[in-house]
Amino acid sequence: MSQSKRWQEIALNRKRQQEDSIPKEWRIPTPQADLLNVLSIPATCGILNERELTITEENDVDRILEKLASGTWTSLEIVTSTLKRAAIAQQLTNCVTELYIESALARARFLDDHLAKTGVKFGPLHGLPVSLKDQFCIEGSETIMGYVSWVGRIAKRNSVLVDILLELGAVIIAKTNVPQSLMWGETYNHVFGRTTNPYNRSLTSGGSSGGEGALIALGGSPLGVGTDIGGSIRIPGSFCGLYGLRPSSNRFPYQGALNSMAGQESVTSVLGPMSRTLSGLKVFTKCVLDTRPWDRDPVVPRMPWNQQAYELIEHGNGGKLCIGILVHDGHTMPHPPILRALKMVREALEKAGHHTIEWEPRWHEELYQTQWDIETGDLAEDILTECSATGEPHITSFKEEDVMAALHALPGEDPPQQRSPFYTRHLTAYQLWKLHERKRELRKLYLDYWQSSRERTGTDRPIDCLISPVAPFAATPHALNNNCNYTMLFNGLDYPAIAFPVTAVDPQKDPSVNRSQFFGEADQANHKMYDPVVFKDAPVGLQVAARTMEEEALLGMMQIIDPIIDTIREVKVYTGM
C-alpha cells in the first residue's frame, strides 16, 4: 500500500465505498441515537415484505434447508431476503464490511436452475446464505482484517473453507467486521468503524467476531463463520444471544484464511459456526467434516463425523449426564445476571434428572497468563509491522474520544506508533519453549483433575461436560470488555466449547449487590462496572465444554441440554428477533 495518501484518507475512502454499496431502495432512515434496542426495525422499516420477513425470521437451519430442498423457498428468494436484511443490519449496527449482492444473486439463480433441471439439490447446504468473518479469502475480493494497509489487497484464491462451502451449495452473502488485528474483545477498526450490539447499541457486540454476532442476531444471516483464539466466537455469541462453537485445534480447515500472529502454533486460532439455533452448529460441523477437509489442509486430522460419539455412547447414551458447574474462576466474580443464569440452568438440569457438581477452579489464572504470554511474546511486532505500512497507529484504546482523535488527526499530529500496554515483554526462543512446556504440564494437571471427578459424579464416569460463564459480565459498554479469561481457559486446554443463550439483563431481577471482599483489583473493578440500567436488555449466555476432539459428543450433549434450558429461556433472546 503506497504512503502517498495519509492513512486516514485511505480509511475514509474505503468506508465511503462501503456505505455507497447499499442500494438506495434498501436504505432506511438513520435511527435516533437514543434508540438502543433495534431488533424490531427489520420488521417495521418497510424494506421487507411479509414473505421476506417469514423467510428471514426462520431461525432453524435444518428447516431452512428443508424448504430450499423441497422448493418451498427458492434460493433466489432466501438470498434476496437475507441480503436485504443484512443491509438493514449494517445500517443499524455497522456489522458488514462487504455485501456480495451481485455474485450472491447470480449464484442463487444458478442453484435454482440446477434444482429445476436435475431435480437434485447441488449439495447439503443448497441455497443457504452464509456470512464470513473478514479473515476468509474470496478470490477477487478484499480481506482487510481491520488494517488500513490491507485495503485494496485482493485475494488470488479462495480459502479452503470457502471452496468447501461453495461445493456444499452455500451462497456467500457477506463479510463481517472485526477489530484491527483481531486481538480485542470489541469490534472497531479505523477503516469500517465500530460495530454495536442490536440489543442495546450503547453496548459492544463483542469481538473479534463481533460483526458476525450483530449480523446474525438481526437476522441478516442464518449461519456465519467466526474464529476464536481467546473467545472470539463465544464472546460475540453470548453478547448477541447466539450459539457459537469453538472446536478443538485444526478440526476445521483454516488453510488460506488470514490471521494475526501467523506462525504462532501453540495456541492456535480455530474457525467455527455461529447461528441463532443449535441446528446451525451441527449442520456446519457434519457437512464440513463429510467433505474430508484433511485432503486439503495438512493439519486437519483424519477424523470424519463420528455418529457414535454424537449418540453419546461413551456418555451413558445421554440418559443421565453429570455436569460440572463453574460459578467463578477465582479471579473475577461474575455480575448478578451471569450468576442468575448459572442458577437457572443448574436447577433446570437437575429438575430434568441430570446431576450437577460444583467445579473448583484450579490453575486457571496460570493457564490464562501462560496463554497470554505466548500470544504476546512478539511484543506486538506483527501488528506494528502491518500498521507501519501506512502509518496507521496500533489501536491501544477503544474509547470513542481516542479512536476519533486518531481518525481525524491533522497532518503531523497522528498518535505515536506504540504497542498496547497488554504487550509486556519480547520472548526469546528458549523462554517461549518453556512456556509451551508449562502449558502442556497444565493441560495434564487439568486432565487428571477432570478424570478424578469420577469419584463425585455417581455415574462411574468423570463429568460429561463443564458449564461456565463466557465472561464475568454480559455485553459491556463500549471499550470496557477487558476480560477474556473464562473463554481463554478452553483455548489453553484446547477443549471444544459452545456458547448458548439463557436470559437477558433485567434490572428488576439483577440488582447490584454489595460486596466487601474481592479476589483482587480486577475483581473489584469488575464489580464497580456493573449497573443494571446500563446493561439493560443485554443477552446473557453461558458456555459448555467437553474434552479435546469431542465436538460430536458436545453437540450431542447440547441436543439434550438445550431443550431443557429452553423451558426457562427468555424467548426474545432465543429467537433473536
Percent of the chain at pLDDT > 90 equals 94
Q: Indicate the pLDDT class of residue 575, thresholds 50, 70 and 90.
A: very low
Q: How far is the C-alpha of 218 from the C-alpha of 207, rounded, in Å? A: 17
**Is 209 labeled as catalytic in the residue annotation?**
no
User: Please, which residues have CB within 8 angstroms of residue 517's CB and are 6 or more apart in sequence?
Assistant: none
Evaluate whether 394 touches 147 at the Cβ level (below 8 Å): no
pLDDT score at 576: 40
List, in sequence order, the alpha helices (H) in 394-453.
400-407, 429-452
- pLDDT score, position 2: 45
pLDDT at 509 (0 to 100): 97
Binding site: what residues are annotated?
Answer: 182, 208, 229-232
Smallest CA-to-CA distance from 207 within 471, 417, 521, 505 is with: 471
Question: Is the Cα dihedral 347, 349, 353, 355 positive or negative?
Answer: negative
Q: Which three cell numbers stand for residue 205?
A: 457486540
**Rounded mean pLDDT, 191-199:** 98
Closest CA to 222 of 82, 120, 123: 82
Q: Model pTM greater than 0.85?
A: yes
Among the listed residues 81, 232, 238, 248, the single catalytic one is 232
The whole-number pLDDT of residue 413 equals 85
| DSSP state at residue 146 | T
Q: Annotated binding site for substrate: which residue ranges?
A: 182, 208, 229-232
User: pLDDT value at position 577?
Assistant: 39
Which DSSP state fits 364? H
Selected catalytic residue, list 81, 208, 260, 269: 208
pLDDT at residue number 4: 61
The number of angstroms, rounded, from the C-alpha of 50 to the middle of its chain's C-alpha atoms is: 30
CATH class of the domain comprising 7-256+265-372+430-575: alpha beta
Kindly list the distances between the CA atom of residue 453 and the CA atoms of 38, 463, 556, in Å, as whole numbers in the listed order: 45, 6, 21
Number of neighbours of residue 354 by Cβ within 10 angstroms:
21
Residue of 15, 84, 121, 133 marked catalytic: 133
Whether the per-residue pLDDT at 196 is higher than 50: the answer is yes
Share of the chain above pLDDT 70, in %: 98
Which grid cell sits at 162? 470457502
Task: Say how far apart CA 468 and CA 457 lie, in whole Å.
Answer: 17
∠ CA 316-318-319 to the nearest 5 degrees? 80
Q: What is the mean pLDDT of residues 505-519?
A: 97
| Average per-residue pLDDT for the chain | 96
Query: Which amino acid, one-letter code, is at 419?
Result: R
Active site residue 133: yes
Is 545 exposed, middle or buried (CB count within 10 Å of its CB: 0-12, 13-18, 19+)? buried
In tens, the pLDDT along 401-448 reads 998 999 988 888 888 888 887 788 899 999 999 999 999 999 999 999
Q: What angle do CA 568, 201, 505 make, to 5 degrees?
A: 25
Q: At 341, give phi and psi (nearest 5°).
A: -60, -40
Which three cell numbers mark 335?
455480575
| pLDDT attached to residue 1 | 43
Residue 57, Cβ density class (10 Å: 0-12 exposed, 13-18 middle, ≥19 buried) = middle
pLDDT-derived band of residue 572, with 50, 70 and 90 as boundaries?
low
232 catalytic residue (yes or no): yes
Residues in the chain: 577
Q: Which three cell numbers stand for residue 483?
A: 476480560
pLDDT at residue 424, rounded to an integer = 85
